[in-house]
Structure 1
Amino acid sequence: MIRLDKRILTHFDFVQPILILPVIFISYSLVSEASDMLANKQLVYFGIGLLAFVFFFLLPIRKMEWLIPTVYWINIILLFSVDIFGVSKLGAQRWLEIPFVHFTLQPSEIMKPAFILMLAYLIKKNPPDIDGYNFKQFLKISFYIILPFILILKEPDLGTALLLIITGYGILFIVGVNKKIWISLIVAMFVATPILYESLHDYQKKRITDFISEDPSYQVKQSIIAIGNGGITGKKADEATQTKFKFLPIATSDFIFAYTIERYGFIGGMSLILLYGFLIAHLLSMNYKLKSDFFAKSVTSGIAILIFIYVSVNIFMTIGFAPVVGIPLPFYSYGGSSFVTFMCLFGILQNLLTFRFDPTYRFVKIKF
């Protein structure tokens, strides 16, 4: 007889799916209204994401920690390969084409889970003391943060590169670094800002110029009109003119937040923000339970920071408070790459939480 180990139900964090599933359902309803074809594709992405979640949830990650550096360096090699063998789309060389199947792979997306796991591995192997990491320890971990940042920046993909570097140093901030190091880092950033700006591509500079100019870009204008059209309670599908007549660009992906408010109004938009806010707060609150488990704490903090950045940048971009960049809303914007990546991350996280008291990793009990 086969019985499920009850400890799985005891330690599984049910708060996460309670907060994430409504986000997925609302997203699918909006995508379905916009396009039946996109809705069918999104169902495929949901299936792939679910398989990815189950795979990482059942994987004995703590027993396989020794493989994490290898996975990290394989991803670094893939990022190097993009510069040599990469496929260009819309002026950016970010993809690798898999031979024979004509399927493209974006190494920067795969890098996100590997990046967070690598930092968690390094922090567990060398945890900070009471005063936090010293300068030498900080530099050592910074190498693993800055290397993928530079490679992704060269593609060019400024948005993903900034996501990784902010997430990496955000994890270190939560884990603990000497205060003097942060002060020095902030000063260095101010000094380096003009140099970094001059190294940007022309289209990246244009996005910044459009952002700081008094007159917003066409995309942002249409987004603000859609938000205003939604009012407090939103419009019916036939009355959501910005989306229905395709004035709102990329309504199911980059600007889906504006689409949400046009359909469900201020109440719908605030409800979505609250779901994300509760999820981020819940993840960060876990650090108190994890205590000295630096590996799980680093992964939890990394995912929370990643979601916060995604949500903040996307919403600020939609209302004209940030430059327009291709950063989707987690579990909400149409597309497979981001959805599958976050399902992998949450599969890893649930694994670390559910089985942290079970070193044997026996998922089922078999009795004859």
Structure 2
Amino acid sequence: MRFMIDRRIITHFDFILIALLIPIITLSFYLISEIDPVLSQKQLIYIGVGIAAFIVFFLMPLREFKWLIPTIYWINIGLLISVDFFGVSRLGAQRWLEIPFIHFTLQPSEIFKPAFILMLAYLIHENPPPKNGYSLKEFLKISFYIILPFVLIAKEPDLGTALILLIIGYGILFFVGVNWKIWAGIAIIMALFLPLSYKYLLHDYQKKRIHDFLSEKPSYHVQQSIIAIGSGGLTGKEKDEATQTQLKFLPIASSDFIFAYFMERFGFFGAFFLISLYAMLILHLLSLNYKLSGDYFTQVVTTSIAFLLFVYMSVNIAMTIGFAPVVGVPLPLFSYGGSSFVNFMILFGILEHLLAFRFNFLYNSTRT
């Protein structure tokens, strides 16, 4: 198989991306092992599955099968719709589908993210923006593919995931270019719509999270998180001295509030190092756009992953320090769990494929 030995694969493969991912994943596994050895064994399985998914999607000839992307998108939309009829409820939310006989549950809103990003890339690749940006007609066409999953996921309810997709979708449109008059109109509509959405669309528990965030005294979870962060000081504590986590005061220390435990263990300097890793990863992804000029498909995928990392990271860290309402948004590639981690590894595998196999289209004029 020629593609396995072609030197141009090595030339275009992004080794910097891998070098930035390894320390984040390694630190995550180390922390989870400290919190709960049983969870660390499960996390090791998730890491193995994520690496396997990365390899599969790296070797998948995506460009040759771009025409399948709309079908994959609509299959995922079908799964989101089926949640309303056949979904399994947990903690008041109906977000999961149970696969018969094996009792395995699937969360369609999670597996939808790669399909969503690929659909955006496909739409923009097929209809690139003109010099002055998209007109209202093209904007509304792409908006349909953004708003439809937002409504379906928000209805589950899973407002956090729905808002992330909305931010990614319109962030990409802002990146590729839309006429400024459209953005002005959206700003006016949002200013009028937000008060009504709070009163009529939000569930009681969502309103409570906002009230807890705006109140003078933070919720119990956030209070314990802030204590853990403050107790870490500049350099952190030894494992046995990290009492907030070891004595179970800090809730969900291995997933939603893992950043608080990280600061309790490694302090301000450790947090600065971790955030710097994320910042370098995001900036590196955005910098790739300079060498991808004209390749809208890869540019959209690259920028979407950067936006996704930034939104997940900033929301998770902000909620642990009381600067944002508590929502179920994990710290990307760091919090315990399989679905988010595997999703990111799939996206990185797709990106590495698009970068490493670019030569098929750069050097071979017989391909399109």
Equivalent-residue separation in structure 2 for 1:121 and 1:249 (angstroms)? 41
Equivalent-residue separation in structure 1 for 2:27 and 2:216 (angstroms)? 34
Residue deviations 1:345-368 (CA, integer Å, cap 9, x gap)? 101111111101125999xxxxxx
TM-score with structure 2 setting the length = 0.97
Task: State whether residues 355 and 361 of structure 1, in contact with CA within 8 Å, keep that contact through their aligned partners in structure 2.
Answer: no
Is 2:8 the counterpart of 1:25?
no
The residue aligned with 1:272 is 274
The residue aligned with 2:106 is 105
Task: State whether residues 119 and 168 of structure 1, in contact with CA within 8 Å, keep that contact through their aligned partners in structure 2.
Answer: yes
Equivalent-residue separation in structure 1 for 2:263 and 2:363 (angstroms)? 45
Task: State whether residues 13 and 353 of structure 1, in contact with CA within 8 Å, keep that contact through their aligned partners in structure 2.
Answer: yes
Task: State whether residues 60 and 361 of structure 1, in contact with CA within 8 Å, keep that contact through their aligned partners in structure 2.
Answer: no
Tell me the CA shift for residue 49 of structure 1: 0.4
Residue deviations 1:88-122 (CA, integer Å, cap 9, x gap)? 11110000001111000000011100000001000
Tell me the CA shift for residue 6 of structure 1: 1.3
Tell me the CA shift for residue 5 of structure 1: 1.7
The residue aligned with 1:141 is 142
Unaligned runs of 5+ in 1: 363-368
Counterpart of 2:245, as a letter, is T
Instruction: Name the SS of the counterpart of 1:173 in structure 2.
Output: helix
Equivalent residue pairs, number? 362
Instruction: Name the SS of the counterpart of 1:358 in structure 2.
Output: helix
Equivalent-residue separation in structure 1 for 2:363 and 2:42 (angstroms)? 35
Instruction: Name the SS of the counterpart of 1:124 in structure 2.
Output: helix
Counterpart of 2:63, as a letter, is R
Tell me the CA shift for residue 243 of structure 1: 0.5
Counterpart of 1:213, as a letter, is S
Equivalent-residue separation in structure 2 for 1:179 and 1:197 (angstroms)? 27
The residue aligned with 1:365 is none
Equivalent-residue separation in structure 2 for 1:174 and 1:359 (angstroms)? 24
Counterpart of 1:124, as a letter, is H
TM-score with structure 1 setting the length = 0.97
Task: State whether residues 233 and 265 of structure 1, in contact with CA within 8 Å, keep that contact through their aligned partners in structure 2.
Answer: yes
Tell me the CA shift for residue 277 of structure 1: 0.5
The residue aligned with 2:77 is 76
Task: State whether residues 290 and 296 of structure 1, in contact with CA within 8 Å, keep that contact through their aligned partners in structure 2.
Answer: yes
Instruction: Name the SS of the counterpart of 2:252 in structure 1.
Output: coil
Tell me the CA shift for residue 8 of structure 1: 1.3
Tell me the CA shift for residue 40 of structure 1: 0.2
Task: State whether residues 94 and 106 of structure 1, in contact with CA within 8 Å, keep that contact through their aligned partners in structure 2.
Answer: yes
Equivalent-residue separation in structure 2 for 1:134 and 1:357 (angstroms)? 33
- Equivalent pairs: percent with the same residue? 67
Residue deviations 1:169-209 (CA, integer Å, cap 9, x gap)? 00111111111111111111111001211211000000000
Tell me the CA shift for residue 288 of structure 1: 1.2
The residue aligned with 1:244 is 246
Is 2:350 the counterpart of 1:325?
no
Given candidates 212, 220, 223, the residue that maps to 1:221 is 223
Task: State whether residues 72 and 118 of structure 1, in contact with CA within 8 Å, keep that contact through their aligned partners in structure 2.
Answer: yes
